Amino acid sequence: MDILNSTNSHHVLFLQGPLGPFFKEMAALFSRRGYISHRITFNGGDHFYAGGDHVVAYRGTPEDWPVFIADYLQAHAIAAVFVMGDCRYYHRTTRPVCEQQGVRFMVFEEGYLRPNTITLEEHGVNALSQLDLSRENLSRIEAHTCKSAVAMGGTMGARSRFAFFYYGAFGLARSWYDHYQHHRASNPIIEPAKWLRGFGRKLLYKYRDAKLERNLQQALSQQFYMVPLQVHDDSQMIYHSPYRSVEAFIEVVIRSFARRAPEDTVLVLKHHPMDRGYTHYGKIIQQLGKKLGISERLIYCHDLHLPSIYHHCRGMVTVNSTVGTSALLHEVPVKVMGRAMYDLPGLTSQCPLDTFWKNPDAVNSDLFLQLQTLLFDQTQINGSFFTRLDLTCNNVLAFYQQHFDQRHIQTSHAKIFAIPELKCNQIEAAV
């Protein structure tokens, strides 16, 4: 088929996706459902997991990319572009081009309401979301139970396997994609070694963290604050926070805690599981504790089952992690130090950090349930980027057609699965 003359077809383009075959499976499903799918690859890992009716390798410079993508969108009459995350260089420079040409810019992200969900929004996610989160709009939301129909299960095994092949192919094709600019600060060639080190650390800290979790539920109940640390080169840290590094954030929080927190409380700093093999903050925490005379009040850990300890926690301080929404669900006061979509009066503490330790703002549970309902209905899809891919892809296609594909919006429920009022989180029986 001549794609330039297929005016009755709906062309969709996939750029970089999550590690693994998710975008490959998505492109194949879209093609089976009558779309024409395109994929642009930027490195050997992308190429290894590439799929679609038309696969193109971009080997140009980052500086030339905006012109290239503008020409590609126009030449192929692309209706929608799908990306994972809106802050990677090739994605954030594609967004304004899509806006200029009237192309839908569809952004995937890990689920706001994890587990068992992924996020899909047009224009952007997290701090770049264009959802109307005003108090007036939220007050009109009729809250309901937000529970995904299907559990996705653990993902670490699949993540590790996909990463091994992705970065292996990345290394083998590095000379071919010699101008590629990676979105992570670490060297992609040694990524597999980082993942192996992370797995080793998980085993090393397993017993100690299990003991700490029991202690937080018992002896330290209502005497600790939680600080979930984020991935060191996460776009949320780089583009949506005032901190130059995770270390800088840690220092600000610990110094404030030493100045103002009740003397009988402790601060629990939890490492991000996906950053376990890349960074370790034990030394800086130890140094700050010794310098400020609060070493015995600082706890550094790696693996905790947070839902088990929320009810024992006095408060949470975060840059902008989506863990904050889980804390709000359990009515734990939250202080956001960066930019986050859920940092709203009535939900998070709007007071200075020094004040937060003793006088945090209470969580308006009704308002949170309205926010949760809005997010669940308008942005969350029952699925995973790493497990249950058939179910996930079908749910994504249904969600896209119901909300964004003008050819399907009017009759999407009836034409896709012939199930009236079908919800994207409830289509297990239809796939």
- Please tell me what DSSP assigns to residue 348: B
How confident is residue 204, by pLDDT bands cut at 50, 70 and 90?
confident
109: helix, coil or strand?
strand
pLDDT value for 186: 56
**238-248 residue pLDDT tens:** 788 899 999 99
Note whether 327 and 406 are same-domain residues: no
**Among 325, 355, 372, residue at a domain's last position:** 372
Element (H, E) at 110: strand 104-110
**What total of structural domains would you count in the chain?**
2
C-alpha closest to that of 170 among 196, 199, 185, 191: 191
**294-332 residue pLDDT tens:** 999 999 999 899 999 999 999 999 999 989 999 999 999
pLDDT value for 9: 67
How confident is residue 409, by pLDDT bands cut at 50, 70 and 90?
low
**Mean pLDDT value of segment 210-230:** 95
Per-residue pLDDT at 416 exceeds 90: no
C-alpha closest to that of 301 among 322, 270, 329: 270
Exposed, middle or buried by CB within 10 Å (0-12, 13-18, 19+), for 64?
A: exposed
Note whether 146 and 23 are same-domain residues: yes
- Return the sign of the alpha-carbon dihedral for residues 190, 192, 195, 200: negative
Q: Do residues 379 and 131 lie in contact, with contact meaning Cβ atoms separated by under 8 Å?
A: yes
Note whether 300 and 385 are same-domain residues: no
Instruction: Give residue 243's domain range.
Output: 208-372
**Mean pLDDT value of segment 253-269:** 97
Note whether 271 and 381 are same-domain residues: no
Name the token pair of 271.
């490492």
The span from the CA of 411 to the CA of 407, in Å, is: 8
Note whether 342 and 405 are same-domain residues: no
Pick the range with the lowest mean pLDDT from 140-144, 232-236, 300-304, 329-333: 232-236
**Among 330, 346, 372, residue at a domain's last position:** 372
Per-residue pLDDT at 194 exceeds 80: no
Note whether 32 and 112 are same-domain residues: yes
Note whether 327 and 416 are same-domain residues: no
**39-79 residue pLDDT tens:** 999 999 999 999 999 999 999 999 999 999 999 999 999 99
Is residue 187 in a domain? no
pLDDT value for 1: 35
Q: Which CATH number belongs to the domain containing residue 247 in this structure?
A: 3.40.50
In this structure, the chain runs to a length of: 431
Task: Give the mean pLDDT of the chain.
Answer: 89
Note whether 218 and 290 are same-domain residues: yes
The span from the CA of 324 to the CA of 62, in Å, is: 34
Q: Is the pTM of this model over 0.95?
A: no
Is residue 181 in a domain? no
C-alpha closest to that of 114 among 310, 401, 379: 379
The span from the CA of 76 to the CA of 40, in Å, is: 13
- Please tell me what DSSP assigns to residue 187: -
The span from the CA of 349 to the CA of 252, in Å, is: 17
Q: Looking at the DSSP assignment, which residues form a beta bridge with residue 268?
A: 226, 299
**Mean pLDDT value of segment 194-211:** 81
Interior angle at CA 113, CA 137 and CA 243, nearest 5: 90
The conformational region for residue 126 under phi > 0 = left, psi -120 to 50 = alpha, else beta, is: left
Residues 6+ away with beta carbon under 8 Å from 183: 16, 85, 87, 88, 89, 235
pLDDT value for 206: 85
Is residue 216 in a domain? yes
Is residue 49 in a domain? yes
Q: Looking at the DSSP assignment, which residues form a beta bridge with residue 38?
A: 13, 54
pLDDT value for 240: 84
Is residue 6 in a domain? no
**Among 349, 372, 395, residue at a domain's last position:** 372
pLDDT value for 53: 97
SS3 per-residue string spanning 286-335 = HHHHHHHCCHHHEEEECCCCHHHCHHHEEEEEECCCCHHHHHHHCCCCEE
Q: Which CATH number belongs to the domain containing residue 57 in this structure?
A: 3.40.50.20
Please report, rounded to a whole number, the percentage of residues in the chain having pLDDT higher than 70.
Answer: 90
pLDDT value for 189: 64
Note whether 117 and 240 are same-domain residues: no
pLDDT value for 322: 87
Is residue 87 in a domain? yes
pLDDT value for 4: 41
**Mean pLDDT value of segment 105-114:** 94
Note whether 131 and 221 are same-domain residues: no
Note whether 289 and 213 are same-domain residues: yes
Note whether 145 and 254 are same-domain residues: no
Distance of CA 183 to the CA centre of its chain: 14
C-alpha closest to that of 79 among 41, 51, 37: 37
- Return the sign of the alpha-carbon dihedral for residues 252, 258, 263, 266: positive
Tokens 């604050």 correspond to 225
| Rg, C-alpha atoms of the chain | 23
